[in-house]
Chain A
């Protein structure tokens, strides 16, 4: 079992739908990150969270430390949001980074 599990692995939705991607982890962490990987392969950082909630444009990320769970939400989804979204955690103390397998999101027009 991976230390970081994402669900779903694949998600297809229509333009405008509200999207939720989930990340669960089994280790104690000091921070969690959401990354976006475009079809061309480039990876960009979206959020880093240690508690609560962050919002950037149509993207919202939340984390519940007690439940070891984070969600990434996309409001009013658009085809340009199509990408692989990756959850990564930094284990507290060990400074080790562990990545989830990613969620492939496809938004159809």
Chain B
């Protein structure tokens, strides 16, 4: 299995509080992605990174920010959590954007905003 770890695995937080999810990889892959998975929707891309300090928005980026200060870590921050951000969040990594479908996924983080 690819070395990709998400933390925390579960979190309950209150509306309006900031939340940061961490994705850590040991594969030295260039690309890292954050997705959310909700009932009735497929996985949807929030943000992705193509290198240290290089990030771009996905299709559902509103309310989220990301940072990548090291190759191995990609952080997803909810500046002020809302109930609509209750979801399961997946991190993924891949060697290049061209083979983005050959990605390895983390185990997911279940976030509940109450």
With beta carbons under 8 angstroms apart, the residue of A31, A41, A45 that contacts B103 is A45
Question: B30 interface residue, CB < 8 Å from A?
Answer: no
Chain A hits for B90, CB < 8 A: 43
Interface pair A95/B100, CB less than 8 Å apart = yes
**Complexed CA–CA distance, A31 and B102 (Å):** 11
Cβ-Cβ contact count across A and B, 8 Å cutoff: 51
Contact digits for A15-46, partner B, Cβ 8 Å, 1 yes 0 no: 00000000000000001110100001111110
A43 vs chain B, min Cβ distance (A): 4
Interface pair B107/A101, CB less than 8 Å apart = no
Interface centre among A35, A44, A86, A101 (most CB of B within 10 A): A101
With beta carbons under 8 angstroms apart, the residue of B44, B101, B107 that contacts A42 is B107
Interface centre among A2, A43, A45 (most CB of B within 10 A): A43
Q: Which residue of A lies closest to B38 (CB)?
A: A101
* Total contacting residues, chain A, CB less than 8 A: 24
Question: A4 interface residue, CB < 8 Å from B?
Answer: yes
A100 vs chain B, min Cβ distance (A): 5
Chain A hits for B92, CB < 8 A: 43
Q: Which B residues contact A (CB, under 8 angstroms)?
A: 40-45, 59, 88, 90, 92, 97-105, 107-108, 110
Show 12 A/B contacts (Cβ-Cβ < 8 Å), sorted by A: A41-B108, A43-B90, A48-B102, A86-B43, A88-B42, A88-B101, A95-B97, A95-B100, A97-B101, A99-B42, A100-B42, A102-B42
